[in-house]
Amino acid sequence: MITFKNGASHTPGPWKRNHLTVRDARGMVIAEFQEPHRMIRGSERNDDMEWCRNNAQLLIGAPDLLAAASAVVKKHGKSNDPVFAALADAIAKITGVAP
């Protein structure tokens, strides 16, 4: 489990998506995405709805992605490779802990 700047961690995975709601393994709500406003119609509403679904889908992979990125950075340590630097920066953005 990854530790954040405040010393705590995140809700353990796996996280599951049910339409626009993301829940942990116990059923606790992690996030709820709102449907587009009812006044938005047509293709704009469809696009916005797809974004909401995709955001929820992206969120359920966040714990696994964070753990995998952290493992790669830990294994390779400090590297001059810009890919590892980007991973370290992304981890820092999420956890609030400088690389």
- 42-96 pLDDT per residue, tens: 777 677 778 888 888 999 998 899 999 999 888 877 778 888 889 989 998 888 8
Of 29, 55, 9, 72, whose CA–CA distance to 86 is shortest? 72
pTM over 0.75: no
The dihedral over CA atoms of 90, 91, 97, 98, expressed in degrees to the nearest 10, equals -50
* Number of residues in the chain: 99
3-state secondary structure of 48: helix
**pLDDT per residue over 12-41, tens digit each?**
888 999 888 999 989 999 998 877 666 666
Of 25, 81, 50, whose CA–CA distance to 10 is shortest? 25
